[in-house]
Amino acid sequence: MAWENIITSIDIGTSKIRTLIGSFAEEKTRDFHVLGVWAANSYAIRKWNILDMEEFKSNLDSSLEEAEKMSGEQVTGVNLSFNSSSFDVVTSKWIIAVSGDEISWEDIDRVLDMARNGVDLPNREILKVVPEYFIVDLEEGVKNPIGMSARKLEVVANIFSMNKNILGNMKKAVADVGIEIYDIFPNLLTSAEWVLTKRQKELWVVCIDVGASTTWVTVYEEWVLKFSTVIPIGWDSVTNDIALWARTSIDIAESMKLSHAVVWLSEETDKEHEIQLSEISSSEEGTISNIYLSQIVTARYEEIFWFVTSELKKIWRDGMLPEGAILVWGAVKQRWLIDTAKRVLRLPVFIGLPVEKESLTETSISDPVYAWVVWNLILWNRYGRRGNALSINLGWIFSSIAKAFKKILP
């Protein structure tokens, strides 16, 4: 297999750093074989700030090294994805006069450049400019204006940026580990682009992406990102609660959460029994009631969705989004989570399929917590290395980004 068909992506999370090395038989396709995959513990990032550069580099290095060993390849460049509380999105609108009779790529480049330069973002670096739609003369909502006859071209674009210093530290750490960054995809953008359909983005919809320590909320209407916010709690809070109330270690609490915790158990309807902590770890003693464990986790899961509701209240949209809520999360496969979300959010709730079926055939990445690292691998193969392909869906958006942002790629 030729080297250029091998792509590596790294997803940096607050609990894990995941590396995936994949080999694509063809360019533009989604089908790939996993050559190497590894999830190393991430100890040095809290709220997406690097707290300890040396520790971070060592965690990054071990994730990469293990994946390299498995694949027998030496990685020189990667696509990076992560979330950061310093991400911000602003909408920029810009208009230009079309240079010829028809709208050309040069016009698109020009209007996107203007939209990018038209926003004043001190101490921030722009990561992506996503053209959500165009206005051609007075015709709104045009997704692909190439070849149209017009005098004026206007773009409505979402500009994703992040704090320069935080990004600088991230880039420095990756460079110190000896690898080049080809591109950076904020998880916030990737998950919404990947799981929301065109129709959902046209009407009001909220995309809820819960990670280990934060929850991202993005609301779209008429293809424009109307609102986005980050709530500083995630599924690790559930683990912390169990550790506190069961007076046990974080590791044991995490195992209890994954293997024993069930929501909505009650003394009236469910049979109470004691879970032996020694079954989870031989060094532990004592027991915890299944009902009590359920109460602990239920309270926290509900709370996360209450926080989302109160964010939606700020834009007068709690319980009032026609396309409802789309959940993106590693454990969304759990049925009860949807029911809990529906009850608290008072909205229809759907799962945003994190990884498409064909990508799940490889068991090593079948857990949806690999969604972002898989998405980025596929995105890069489809759109990353060419800038001229045009389609009116996601491909259009990402090819535009690649084209418009070649200049700022690290």
Ligand X SMILES: Nc1ncnc2c1ncn2[C@@H]1O[C@H](COP(=O)(O)OP(=O)(O)OP(=O)(O)O)[C@@H](O)[C@H]1O
The footprint of ligand X (CB under 6 A) covers 13-16, 83, 211-214, 234-236, 239, 254, 257-258, 330-331, 369
Q: Tell me whether residue 156 or residue 337 sits nearer to Mg ion (CB atom).
A: 337
Please state, in angstroms and rounded to a whole number, the distance separating the CA atoms of residues 120 and 117. Answer: 7
What's the closest the beta carbon of residue 119 comes to ligand X, in angstroms? Answer: 27
The answer to whether residue 186 forms part of the interface with Mg ion (CB under 5 A) is no
The answer to whether residue 13 forms part of the interface with Mg ion (CB under 5 A) is yes
What's the closest the beta carbon of residue 9 comes to Mg ion, in angstroms? Answer: 12
Neighbour-count burial for 304-338, b at 16+ CB within 10 Å, e otherwise: bbebbeebbeebebbeebebbbbbbbbebeeeebb
Q: Tell me whether residue 259 or residue 393 sits nearer to ligand X (CB atom).
A: 259
What's the closest the beta carbon of residue 217 comes to ligand X, in angstroms? Answer: 14
What's the closest the beta carbon of residue 336 comes to ligand X, in angstroms? Answer: 10
Rounded alpha-carbon distances, angstroms, from residue 69 to 66, 117, 129: 5, 43, 36
* Helix or strand run (H / E) with residue 8: strand 6-12
What's the closest the beta carbon of residue 83 comes to ligand X, in angstroms? Answer: 5
Cα-to-chain-centroid distance, residue 288: 35
Tokens of 111: 């209007």
Which one of 5-13, 18-26, 168-176, 300-308 is the stretch in contact with Mg ion (CB under 5 A)? 5-13
Q: Tell me whether residue 136 or residue 162 sits nearer to Mg ion (CB atom).
A: 162
Q: Tell me whether residue 224 or residue 261 sits nearer to ligand X (CB atom).
A: 261
Please state, in angstroms and rounded to a whole number, the distance separating the CA atoms of residues 376 and 380. Answer: 6
Q: Which of residues 209-228 bind Mg ion (CB under 5 A)?
A: 211
Query: 225: Cβ–Cβ under 8 A, 6 or more apart, which residues?
Result: 89, 91, 132, 158, 192, 218, 219
The answer to whether residue 368 forms part of the interface with Mg ion (CB under 5 A) is no
Q: Tell me whether residue 186 or residue 384 sits nearer to ligand X (CB atom).
A: 186
Q: Tell me whether residue 330 or residue 387 sits nearer to ligand X (CB atom).
A: 330
- Which residue in the shown chain puts its C-beta closest to Mg ion? 13
- In the three-class reduction of DSSP (H, G, I as helix; E, B as strand; rest coil), residue 308 is classed as helix
How many Cβ atoms are within 10 Å of 123's Cβ, its own excluded? 9
What's the closest the beta carbon of residue 187 comes to Mg ion, in angstroms? Answer: 6
The answer to whether residue 234 forms part of the interface with Mg ion (CB under 5 A) is no
Please state, in angstroms and rounded to a whole number, the distance separating the CA atoms of residues 296 and 180. Answer: 44
213 binds, among Mg ion, ligand X, none (CB under 5 to 8 A by kind): ligand X
Tokens of 369: 């917590």
Q: Tell me whether residue 154 or residue 241 sits nearer to ligand X (CB atom).
A: 241
Please state, in angstroms and rounded to a whole number, the distance separating the CA atoms of residues 285 and 247. Answer: 11
22 binds, among ligand X, Mg ion, none (CB under 5 to 8 A by kind): none
Q: Which residues bind Mg ion (CB under 5 A)?
A: 13, 211
